[in-house]
Each structure stands twice: as structure tokens, then as C-alpha cells.
Structure 1
Amino acid sequence: MTKRAALMLALMEPPPGLEEEFADWYDTEHLPQRRGLPGFVNGMRWVALEGFPKSLASYDLASLDALADPAYLAVSGANSTPWSRRLLARTARAGRMRVEVEQIWPGTATFLPPRKTARLLAARYADVPVQQQQAFADAANALAKTLPGLAQLRVFAGVRDAATELWVLMEFGAPVTLSMLAPVLGRIAGYGADVFNLYAPYDRDALR
């Protein structure tokens, strides 16, 4: 059976006073390390314009098996670097969420090149029954067609704390705002979003 393409998201809030070190850690150690692992198709960083936590790292995966690969396990959890363990402990207190989901729409698409994406919407919809997930994806696709500047829509499914969750990721080629998107996407097929964050591609120089 062919494994589904997958996605891992790491949403984190850098603690006050650690923003510069957090950026150094991600830019010089963590993201390059992840990008080189088997099954990691890409790795990108984003900064929240609206929503919480502020930092988002996204990783397209060949499948969720990448997270069980010995190469990944060798540099994760208790095997993480001392720098990673120290910073991750601090972000856990400030605000952190990890997401592991499989792509159910359109199938195997990956993130567009950063130069083609001005904004990214990441929205979570909880407790959508498995039998309703395809109808949800169809509804999201129909709604997306009404939005100006949409470059790509993807829908992902997973389980958190024994409950189902769907994530909708939309990449836009031009700036948009949550006030533009919420009336259309805040509720899809009867299910409301409990995470609804808008991001721009990470550019450290632009944040200085």
C-alpha cells in the first residue's frame, strides 16, 4: 500500500529575551539538520503576522515513516543536541505545538518556492469524523476558489489525543489578512477552526 505524503509542523513561541538565540539555533543547527534527514522533502520557516505561536517550521515528508527512521530518532528527543534540549524546554513553557498529519488533498503536493508565496494560512479544525473528511476537503476546495491570489490549497488529516484533526494550509501569492479569510474559512462544512494563523515567509533581515 502506498504511503501518503505527510507534513510535520512545529509551532513555537520564542521566550522574551531569547529571540536572537532562537533564530541562530534554527538557522544554523536545527533546520539544516532536519532538511538533511531521510524522508524530509523540504524545511521552511514562517513568522506569524496574526496568530499564536509566532514561529512556524514546516516540513513536507515523503510519509510519516520519516519520523520513525533511525536517522531521525538519532537526533530527536533524548538524542537532541544540548542546544536543542535547552531551547525546546524554554519554548515548551512559552507555547509550542507539534503537528504530524497526512495529506488527503490533493495528494502529493509540496510547498511552493518561498518566492511564490507571500502569505500562508494554517488552520486547524478538530473532531471531523473520518467519514466526513473528504466532504470537508471538497468544501474547502470550493471555498478556496472564491479567494483572490490563492496559489495552493492542501488539506491534512491526523489524530491528536485520540481525536481527529484536519489542517488546511493555503499559500497566497499576494498579501491577505485574517479579516479577509475568516468569513470564508473560519468555518468549513460546519466545523470551526480553533487555530487560524497567518504567516509570512521567514526573513531574518526583515525582522531586524
Structure 2
Amino acid sequence: MSEAIRPALLMVAMEPPASLEEEFNDWYDTEHFPQRLALPGFVSASRWACIDGWPRWLALYDLTSPDALNSAAYRSVSGAQSTPWSRRVLPRTVGRSRVVAVGLDGQDHTQYEPREVCRLLAMSVALPQDAAAKSAVALASEASASAQAIIAAVREALTPRGDLLQLRGFVEDDQTLWLFASFDSPASATLAAQIGRPCGASIRSFNVYVPYRRSSY
């Protein structure tokens, strides 16, 4: 399957200064998040608060394909076309990262219902790189095979816990595997000891989240 038509994930993380956090969440909840979810090609979305790791706020968007981020509708509300509120809030955040990655074959196309998740583990793993010059197709094929082996090793390590709801993997630029594991119990950063170094791979990031819930009082 061509990368352009593979299901994909957009992951955005950032943290506002404490003085801006209330406005940041107002902006996300009432403008930015609904705006993104209404765009063509955006299938589902969720927000998360980091309890072990950094930065604090994470948003995940399931996409029909990476091309959803090239549509005229998306471009009309992004970058220089962003709303005045977005242009006010975003430059004041720190730790901003934006990842677009394509999904592995044979997995759920959408994320587990956040209301049923107690903890979410988001980790990134460096995929092995062959120094020999190869075609883009060959590199993509090797990256996919490595990613499938790594996610299988992680699944084997986590399944005995009995609380794993969903495990999904996404490959970014044929270099990094992003893994998202949903649990129905309060899993913690001690998961790192259970997972170890899957297939000998280097772990680049390891954050634990809870579903975002805005206080109603």
C-alpha cells in the first residue's frame, strides 16, 4: 500500500507557561481541537496530560492518510492562515513537537476510546539504519519489517500484564517507530523495565499519560 493512502497519525505535543495554561486549554477545547477534528481526513482525536515525562500536553489525531495534511481545507487554517488566537497562543508554548507517521499493517485504524483508558504509554524507538545506499522503496520495506518485529516484542512483554487494551505502531520517515499502548489500569514508567530494549533497539522517548478531562467546577 502506498504511504500516501496508509492510515496515519498526527501527534502534537507542547506545554504553555503556567500563566497561560487556562487560556491554552480554552483555545484547544473551544477552537483548535474542534476545528481540526472537522477537517476532511481527520477520523478521530484525543487529548492527553503527561504524568511521567514532558511536555505536559499531547494531542493525537487519526488520519485517513498523510495526505489529509496537504488538503486545501487543512492549509486554509494552518501556518500563516492560522487564527489570531492560534498565533497568540502557540508561540508562547515550549517543547513543541509535531510528528506525522504512517500506521503499520494489521492494526486498529483508530485509537481506543479515551474514556475507557486509564493510562497511555507513548514511546519512540530508533529503527536500524543500513548505511548502504538503497532505494526509498527498499528502505521503507526494511523499516516496516523492523517496526513489526519491535512491536511484536513489545506486545509479548506487555500482554502478560493483563491490562493492555490496544497497541499500535506508526513509522516516521522510515527512521523512528512510535508506539502507543493503552491500559485499563494505572500503569507507570516502570513499564520501561518490562519492555527493555525491544529487539535491541534504542528508546528515544518514553512518556505516560492520562486522558485529558477539563474540570467542570
State the TM-score, normalizing by the size of structure 1. 0.90
Contact 1:47–1:55, Cα closer than 8 Å, also in 2? yes
Q: Deviation per CA, 1:139-165, whole angstroms, max 9, x where unpaired?
A: 222223223311000011012xxx711
2:180 aligned partner: 169
- The percent of aligned pairs where both chains have the same amino acid is 46
Let me know the Cα RMSD of the aligned residues: 1.7
In structure 2, what is the Cα distance between the partners aligned to 1:138 and 1:115?
26
- Runs of 5+ consecutive residues of structure 1 not aligned to the other structure: none
Residues 186 and 97 (structure 1), Cα distance of their counterparts in 2 relative to 1, 3 Å cut: farther
Q: Which letter does structure 1 place at the counterpart of 2:55?
A: P
In structure 2, what is the Cα distance between the partners aligned to 1:187 and 1:137?
11
In structure 2, what is the Cα distance between the partners aligned to 1:119 and 1:108?
18
Q: Which letter does structure 2 place at the counterpart of 1:125?
A: V
Comparing 147-156 with 120-129, greater Cα deviation is found at: 120-129
- 5 Å matches for 1:1-208? 1=1, 3-91=5-93, 94-129=94-129, 130=143, 131-159=145-173, 164-179=175-190, 181-205=191-215
Comparing 191-200 with 54-63, greater Cα deviation is found at: 191-200
Deviation at 1:108, TM superposition (A): 4.0
Larger radius of gyration: 2
Comparing 133-142 with 56-65, greater Cα deviation is found at: 133-142
2:140 aligned partner: none
Contact 1:46–1:55, Cα closer than 8 Å, also in 2? yes
Deviation at 1:81, TM superposition (A): 0.6
Deviation at 1:105, TM superposition (A): 4.9
Contact 2:147–2:169, Cα closer than 8 Å, also in 1? no
- Runs of 5+ consecutive residues of structure 2 not aligned to the other structure: 130-142
3-state SS of paired residue (1:109): coil
2:139 aligned partner: none
State the TM-score, normalizing by the size of structure 2. 0.87
Q: Deviation per CA, 1:155-185, whole angstroms, max 9, x where unpaired?
A: 11012xxx71110000011111112x01122
